[in-house]
A and B are shown apart, each in its own frame.
Chain A
Amino acid sequence: MSLASASLDRAVEPDRALNADSLNADARREARGMLALLSPGLFLVFAVIIVPIGWLFWLSLFDESGQLSAANYARFFEQASYIKTFVTTFKVAFTVTGACVLLGYPLAYMLSQLPRRAASICLIFVILPFWTSVLVRTYAWLVILQRKGLVNTWLMDLGVIGQPLPLANNFAGVVIGMTHIMLPFLVLPLYASMKTIDVDCLRAGMNLGASPAATFWQIFFPLSLPGLASGLVIVFVLCLGFFVTPALMGGGKVIMWAMRMEQTTSLYSNWGAGAALGVVLLAVTLALLGLFQWLLGTRATGVWSRR
C-alpha cells in the first residue's frame, strides 16, 4: 500500500464511521452480485469436479458384494506390489522433475536473454514436440534407445562401449522418455517469468559492484523462482498420473500408479478397487502441493492464495 492511499484512508476515516452501515450493506450487495455472476462457473466446478471426486471417494468404500468396507484400502498393505508401485511412481516423478529443471532452467535462461526474434524461433522448437502424439514420441525413443537402437549401434561401432547400454525397458528409459515430454511444461512458465524480470535490477546490481555470478544468484535466480515453482508443480503432478511412456519404455518393470489403476480396474469387478487408488493418489498429491505451497510461497502453486 503506497503512502498516498494510506493518507487518503485516514482522511475518509470519519465518514466511514458515519455511514459504515450503508457501506457494509453495499459491500454485501456487491459480494452477492459477484457470487451470482460466478454461479454458472461454480456450478460447473461443482458438477464436473466436486461431484465426481466425491463419487469416486464414495465408490472406494464398497467391496465386491456392495458392502461398506475398507477392503480396497487394506489391499495396499496386504499386497506388497501396491506400495512398491507407489514408491516407483514418486521416484520417477522426482527424477523426471529434477532432470527437467537441470535441462529446462539453462534453456529458459538462454531463451530469455536472446533477442526477441531469435527467442521466438527457438521457442517454436520447444513447442514443436507438443504437436506430435506422445505415443509416437515414445516409440521414437524406443527406436533410439533400445539394445540395437541408434545410440547403442553408434557407440558400439565407434568402439566406445563393448556391451549395449541398458537404456530402454527400464527405469532409465522411462525417465528419458518422460523428461522429453515434460520439458516444455517447465520451460514455458519459466521463460514467461524470466521475461518479466526487470533488466534494470540486474544492471543496478552490477553497478554496485556485484560479479555476474553474484548478480545471477542474488537477483536473477530469486526473481525467477515463482516461474520455476509453477513449472515444477505442473511437471511433477503430470508425472504422477503418467501412463503411456512408462508402459512402453519400462518394459513391464517400471509400474507406475496409473498403470496399476488400469490393472486393478480390470482385475476386480467393483469400481471401488480402482477408485481407492485414485483417492490415495489425489490425497498424497494434495498433501505434496500443500507442502510446496508452504515451502515456496503463495505464487508457486496458485492455490489457497489469500489476496
Chain B
Amino acid sequence: MTKRLCIHGLAIAGLLASAAVPASAADTITVASWGGTYQEAQTKAFFDPTAKDLGITIKQDTTNGLDDVRLQVTGNAVKWDITELGADECARGSKEGLFEKLDYNVIDKTGINPKLVHDDWVGISYTSVVLIYRTDVFGDKGPKTWADFWDVEKFPGRRALSGSQATETLSVAALAKGIPIDKVYPVDIDGALQSVDKIKGHIDAWWTSGAQAMQLVKDGEVDMASIWNGRAGTLKKSGAPVSFSFDQGVLTADCMVIPKGSKNKDIAMKALAKFVSPDLQANLPLYVDNGPANEKAFETGKIPPERIKDINSAPENVKKQVLQDPAFWRDTLVEATEKFNNLIQQ
C-alpha cells in the first residue's frame, strides 16, 4: 500500500514539476536473472553500482525464462521490474505483448548492435556456443570447425550437442555444411535439419543444460561437444584437458525487459539505462566470461587488454562468429523446434 502511494506521489510530482524526481532510498525494484555465477557477476558489475548510484534498493530473484514472465503477466501478478531473457525469448515475448515499451530518451542505445535494440527489449550480454574437445584424446589436433565435428571418419570419438537449444544446434548444423558465417542467417531450416540427420546417429548425448554439457565433457563421457563459452572457460580454468576457440562460434545475446504491469516502471527504466551503459557493461567481463552487449565498453579502458582477447563480444572475436538473429527465430522457432525434436527424439 505504502509503495503504491509512493508511486502515485512520484507520478503526480513528476506531472507537476515535469522534471525527474530523484529516487528515494525507499524505492525498491526486483531484478530477475539466471542465478549462479552469472548473476553473482551481474550483481557486482551492474546491480550494486546501480543501486548505489540511484540510491535505490535492488532485490534479486531468479528466472526460468519466458514461461515465468508469461505466467506473471497473464496472471496479473507481476513481481519483477526487470528480467533477463534469451534474445529469441525477448523477440517472442515482444510479439505476445508481454513487455513495457522502453524509453530510449532514458536508455542510451549507442554502442549496442541495432539487432538487439527494440521497442520493448534491449541486449545485455553475449554467450557463445563454441566447439570444445578433449586434448587428452586429440592432442592439439582436435576438431576446429563444425565440419570437423561432423566428420566422424577423421575425428572418431563420442559427441554431444544441445538437444534443448534447437536454434543453436541448427546454427552449428548449418555451419557444418560449409556455409560461411555471414550467410548462415536466415537459416535454411530444412538444410540444417538434414545436416543434423547426418550426425544424429553419432551423438551420444543431447544435453539440456549448461551444467550437463560441462559434466559430459569433464567426465570424459564425450570427447567433443557444443558448449557455452562460460562453461568451457570454467572447465579450462579448473584444469580439465580441453581446448576451444571462438572460431565458428554462435554468438547468442541475452536481453533485458520490463514485464508489462511492473509497478516501478520508471525506476526500472533508469536502472536498465545504467545496466547497458558502457561504464557498467565494462565491469561484466571482469567477473564472468559473458561479453558485454555494448561495444563501447571496450573503449572505457576498464578491461585489461590481455583480457579482451578472451571476451566473446570483443570486436576481434565477433568477426569469427555468427550472430544468432532473434527476429528470425521469433517467427520460426516453434516449427523448427518441433521438426528438430521429431528428428532427435526416438
Contact = CB atoms under 8 A, between A and B. Distances in A.
Contacts of A149: 219
Contact of B345 (A146, A147, A255, A269): A255
A58 interface: no
Contacts of B216: 169
Interface stretch (A34-42, A214-222, A260-268, A277-285): A260-268
B302 interface: no
Interface string B105-131: 000000000000000000000000000
Interface string A227-242: 0000000000000000
B67 A265 contact: yes
Interface in A61-80: 79-80
Contacts of A258: none
Interface string A245-272: 0011001110100000001011111000
A32 interface: no
A142 B344 CA distance: 22
B208 A79 contact: no
A84 B341 CA distance: 10
B102 to A, nearest CB: 21
B221 A146 contact: yes
Given A169-B205, A269-B96, A80 B342 contact: yes
B152 to A, nearest CB: 17
B92 A269 contact: yes
Interface string B321-346: 00000000000011001100110111
Contact of B219 (A79, A85, A148, A248): A148
B328 to A, nearest CB: 16
A80 B339 CA distance: 9
B215 A142 contact: yes
B53 to A, nearest CB: 35
B241 interface: no
Given A79-B342, A81-B341, A147 B205 contact: no
A253 B215 CA distance: 16
B338 A252 contact: no
B66 interface: yes
B111 to A, nearest CB: 31
B261 interface: no
B206 A253 contact: yes
Contact of A248 (B70, B164, B212, B337): B212
B346 A84 contact: yes
B218 to A, nearest CB: 10
Contact of A266 (B65, B160, B204, B342): B65
B206 A147 contact: no
B345 A81 contact: yes
Contacts of A176: none
B170 to A, nearest CB: 14
Contacts of B341: 79, 81, 255, 263
B345 A169 contact: no
B207 interface: yes
B206 A252 contact: yes
A143 B207 CA distance: 17
Interface string B4-48: 000000000000000000000000000000000000000000000
A168 interface: yes
B206 A81 contact: no
Contact of B221 (A85, A169, A247): A169
A243 to B, nearest CB: 11
B163 A252 contact: yes
A81 B342 contact: yes
Nearest to B212: A248
Nearest to B206: A252
Contacts of A247: 208
Return the 6 tightest CB-CB contacts between A and B, nearest first. A252-B206, A251-B205, A252-B163, A81-B341, A81-B345, A81-B342
30 contacts: A79-B342, A80-B342, A81-B341, A81-B345, A84-B345, A84-B346, A143-B219, A146-B219, A147-B158, A147-B219, A147-B220, A149-B219, A169-B205, A169-B221, A248-B212, A251-B160, A251-B207, A252-B164, A252-B344, A253-B206, A255-B341, A255-B345, A263-B164, A263-B337, A263-B341, A266-B65, A266-B66, A267-B334, A267-B337, A269-B92
